[in-house]
Structure 1
Amino acid sequence: MKRKPVNNFSNKNNQKFPKKRPYTGDKNISKKMKTVLVQPHPKFKDIYVGRNKEDVLLTKNMNPGVSVYNEKRVSVKSGQEIIEYRTWNCYRSKLAAGIVSGLDNIYIKKGTTVLYLGAANGTTVSHVSDIVGEESLLYSVEFSKRTGSDLISLAMTRKNIVPIIADARRPQDYRMIVPMVDVIFSDVSQPDQTKIVMDNARYFLKDGGKILISIKASSVDSSVPAEKVFTNEVNWLRKHDFKPKELVTIEPFEKNHAIITGSYKPTNKTSYQ
């Protein structure tokens, strides 16, 4: 399993990757967005890099003309078509932070069916919605009714988002809504988060499907160093039908946070579906 504690855009094996200062958030982006050069991300399909005074992550806006969380938008003319992109703030999205911090694979691209646990008000969900496209579905689970109302409002403008206001600890409550999925992304910041992922995987994740878990060390165990927490979570996954692939810390975007990725290979072939 790969461990990558370094956070930067550099990639010695790919000279096309940006050499300029990496994206650190919306507040320092030039307002003169007409000067930005948009290029496909060198590692991830359906994600883009905007070259300006600072490099920025971008996704192609599914709903042109509309911002989700006051993020800046970039319009680029391609032939007779004008394509709009949305900036993806690494300080407001752990998935974006993981990409910048060196993840080799996020397993999410056009056509991927995703179950998102801990969707909150939909900041990251909106970018995943851009990535997977209109032909796929993004099942988004959020426990809080307050933030869930924002998620529902977002789903009204993005038809590939299925909002589910429910407890991720009880996947049986939404088993009639969610089919088998390709990827589970989890950001629930609970002590038993890896077990929550396992329980949902047993209901919904395809054999060989992928997981991405955002781990907040202090939410799991504040009495031991963060590195120890991450190692313990990886070992737990190994014992419960998962094969961890990567462990990437995402500082300075989030302190004592890491993203763990892996694949699912259940020993018991019978799912709960």
Structure 2
Amino acid sequence: MTLPDGIVRRAFDGRERLATSGEPVYGEPTDGQWRVWDAGRSKLGAMLELGMDVPLSGGESVLYLGAASGTTVSHVADFAGPTYAVEFAPRPVRDLVSVAADRSNLFPLLKDARQPETYAHVVESNLDAIIQDVATRGQATVAARNATFLDEDGVLLAAIKARSEDVTADPEAVYDRVLDELEETYEILETRSLEPYHDDHLGVVARKQ
């Protein structure tokens, strides 16, 4: 797998790890301009670490859904172009605003990803990618509603959280149901369990239909 421009593998503490160039955010190890992208704290980082074929080359325009305090989206902003970061909880958005202070291409939005009409006036259209990491039921619905922002061949990179959909159901059954719903809007290109980095999570790479 070829990594997007702006993401490298470097030796930290005697082993090779993913890294991006930017100001540190969450106490991650650094080496000069490079900072470790901790796959154990990032679903997208786990997708990359596990060798999933993520169709990004660097410089893409991105809508990030479920940005929380900015752990993963800070790495995304290090290698991407304009990056719109949606988070509905006020407390983590305060941290996200601090992260954005060091990244002129990162735009925090205190919004609910289930209601894209509330930020449609801010987010540009024809984006290259949606990155989704939301802890809510209806994750396929969220991805479908936000597809309106994507270019005709834009991609979705999603971490499906089985326990957020149904805490009592078998995760594999949950994944099947979510993927069936996603296929109404997206062509599924690749899926993979994110273990051992994240239990009961499925990484999904898809392209807009």
TM-score if structure 2 supplies the norm length?
A: 0.94
1:257 Cα offset (Å): 0.7
What corresponds to 2:92 in structure 1?
Answer: 147
Give me the whole-angstrom Cα distance separating, in 2, the residues matched to 1:111 and 1:252. 29
> How far off its partner does 1:229 sit?
1.3
Q: Partner of 2:31 in structure 1?
A: 74
Q: Any conservation in 2 of the 1:101–1:249 contact (CA below 8 Å)?
A: no
- Normalising by structure 1, we get a TM-score of 0.73
State the identity as a percent: 35
- Is the 1:102–1:248 contact (alpha carbons within 8 Å) kept by the matching residues of 2? no
Q: CA deviation at 1:102?
A: 2.5
1:108 Cα deviation after fit: 3.1
Tell me how far 1:97 sits from its aligned partner. 0.8
* CA distance in 2: counterparts of 1:234 and 1:209, whole angstroms: 18
Q: Any idea what SS the aligned residue of 2:101 has?
A: helix
**Alignment length, in residue pairs?**
206
Q: Is the Cα–Cα contact under 8 Å of residues 150 and 208 in structure 2 kept in the other structure?
A: yes
Structure 1 segments, 4+ long, off by >6 Å, are none
Q: Say whether the 8 Å CA contact 1:212–1:261 is kept in structure 2.
A: yes
Structure 2 spans left out of the alignment, 5+ residues: none
Residue in structure 1 matched with residue 132 of structure 2 by the alignment = 186
Matched, 1:201 2:147: yes
Q: Is 1:45–2:4 an aligned residue pair?
A: yes
Q: 1:30 corresponds to which residue?
A: none
Matched, 1:161 2:106: yes
Deviation per residue, 1:174-215 (Å, 9 max, x gap)? 11100121100111121101101110112x111111001111
Partner of 1:97: 46
> Which one has a bigger Cα radius of gyration?
1
Contact 2:143 2:182 in 1 (8 A): no
- The one-letter amino acid of 1:196's match is V
* Paired residue secondary structure (1:55): strand
**Following TM superposition, by how much is the alpha carbon of 1:222 offset from its aligned partner in structure 2, in angstroms?**
2.5
Structure 1 residue 241: Cα displacement: 2.2
1:226-254 CA-to-partner distances (Å, cap 9, x unmatched) read 1121122111111x221001111111111
Spell out the pairing of 1:1-273 with structure 2 (5 A cutoff): 43-46=2-5, 47-51=7-11, 53-61=14-22, 66-75=23-32, 84-105=33-54, 107-132=55-80, 136-180=81-125, 181-202=127-148, 204-238=149-183, 240-265=184-209
1 CA distance for matches of 2:56 and 2:109? 20
